[in-house]
Structure 1
Amino acid sequence: MQLKTLLEIGFTSLKLGLTSFGGPIAHLGYFKNEYVDKRKWLDDKTYADIIALAQFLPGPASSQVGMAIGMIRGGIFGGVVSWFGFTLPSVIVLVLFAAMYQTFSLGDASWIASLKIVAVAVVAHAVLNLGKKLTPDRPRIAIALLAAVIMLAVPSAFIQIMIIAVAALLGFFAFAKQSQPDVHSFAISITKKQGVFSLALLVLLLIGTPILATTYPSVHIQLFDMFFRVGTLVFGGGHVVLPLLEKEVVPTELLTSSQFLAGYGMAQAVPGPLFTFASYLGAMIHGVIGAIIATVAIFLPSFLLVIGALPFLKELRGKPRFQGMLNSVNASVVGILLAAFYDPVFTSSINHNLDFALAALLFIMLQVWKLPAWLIVIIGVVLGQAINIITN
């Protein structure tokens, strides 16, 4: 693998890690702007299929999409570099915060509200553009709208999985004839044997680590076991992981409730994946070493799952019935994203008329003027601060 390619992946993912505010749904918008629209590393259909794949897998969906794009671009090492660049900025901030959380509070900072408004524009841009590509006819528009209605009526990770599963079943029978014979394949250096080995390693670690932690009591092994188990078993990603982590560290008195909530508040204010909240918890429990173990452990299942799934996705995309499944699943994902755009992105960000005006302006800058996402973040924070001064 050429060093130039890995450096390109690292630089691009680091830029995203520094500017991708707004949570996992917003991250997909930032990724599309950078990887698909600007750099042309993959086309819209391949990007949508990777999103659909990530929705099936446990773990942080946006991070898995970033890993997959890095692997397509630069093999397994490309995936590692992509994850490292996207994750490192928030890890550093949260580890530093763990060392000084009693005196460092940003929970009520006005610029956080501005970042939420930026997320409204980014997510709206992503939903609109993905919707154009993935819901081109009435049946798929109907699937997207139905998925959005169900998610808004019964919001839960389980319902999301059920929507995707039903959509896949529907696509298998109803959309095979609508598959795209000219779908672009993608080159990837990961073999099926490597994929099977990766999945086997995941199962081995999931079964063996708890046994090892019981047989050889060690804070390092126990930390790895705890965070690896959560990273493997959580569906829905993002905020869904927080109650699971709370059950692991607060009742066991590894952290107090106030310590946990302080880190949770800070995790909302940093760019990059929310799963880096594990870095804060690990640092609070066992310093920098604990942070490293927790971070690696909670993301490792995602690596193993993506490595295991990508070689099979590459082959299956060419089969009509599987294409039909993806077409239907992609339509349902648009609906899920639409529901997430309204709640929590819109409802938690737009509090008065000027908020909406700023979000609309930033959306036009993205959609019409084609300004880069990182610039939208800067403009959004500056204008948001100006609005805050005017209104107060």
Structure 2
Amino acid sequence: MAATDLARPLGWLAAAALAVPGVMPRPAAAEEAPDKGLVALKYLHYEDSQSVQTQYPFYSGNEPSTFKRIRVDSPSALLSVPLGRRWLVDASAVVDEVSGASPRYYSDISGASRMSDRRVAGDLKVTHFEERSALAVGVAHSGENDYVSNALSVEGRWSTEDNNTTLTTALGLSSDTIEPTDGGVLGVEQEHKRSIELLMGLTRAVSRNDLVQMTLTMSFGRGYFSDPYKQFDNRPRSRNSGIYQLRWNHHVPYWGATLRTGYRYYYDTFGIGAHTLEAQWVQPLAEGFKLTPLLRYYTQSSASFYHDPVTDIEVYPGLPSEAKYSTDDQRLSAFGAITAGLKAEYSWGPWTADAKVERYEQRSQWRLGGQGSLGIDPFHATIVQVGVSYSF
């Protein structure tokens, strides 16, 4: 997965508010809770693997051509209940069953460690609506065998009189406790991490068929950012980051379709800079049925303290002993990645069913604007999700 996935976002509490709605601007009206409630069930299956191409030291030559890594099975539920015209309560819960193996350094499978874990998470958000404004407060909790996280968020939204422009601001606070199983490979007993995130967003309907959104997120983290299950992993105890995101939805009346495009720029004090380009085409077909193909490209530079592996058995893995900070985590290397996906959705009455499949592939040589990190084998992932929802 991309290194930027390691930076905790504000989560669905702010993401839901900043999701670009339909491309048709609403008529001028007071902010109020939705007319109907919603209950939704989802099931996600994720599995990844990597090609075995690089001949690391201690390889026998009998290694498989493909190394199966992590598998995740994740059921989730969402409940959204309006309480009159002024209040809305959203709640969700998810269980992640995780199993598999992950290399302790680079993509070398000779030192891979096996794991099995369960993560249980839930969150709750309460929103109060006023004339052309809304205020939401949310809490979230996530717990697993070696990691516990608690978060709080506050979000405000204001619209102009014509409802063509909406300004959103959000504040997120999180506190994490890390207790690696058996101390991991680094002998860590207990560590902590805290972060503060600020978000500002502007959404504007620039025409009857076009909606544009710009967001800026700043994150300030202090505490333990190393991976206790990665060999030779020692990262700075602070990580600040910024994300700039631009999204544009364009409705195509002739086809009755919508083009959704987005650009995202990420940077942090680890030295990582990343760009993401994404496009989706939402195409209604028969009544109640629509298809949405997706294509995404991602590219990032490596962390300033990441070191490429060497194949000389005398010095492998090649991390300089005098370095203050170091990592051999491939997620912090330089690479490019492509994701292709397809979503199908069918609605009848108050019911909606959907299914989505995505294929992700990551390679060093796909990095844009420079050579990717050397000696890192290609990484692949498949994500399948099915769901059903009912409005009431």
TM range (shorter): under 0.3
Q: Larger strand proportion, structure 1 or 2?
A: 2
Q: TM-score, normalised by structure 1?
A: 0.26
* Greater relative contact order, per chain length (Cα 8 Å cut-off, separation 6+): 1
Q: Larger helix proportion, structure 1 or 2?
A: 1
Answer with 1 or 2: which has the greater Rg: 2
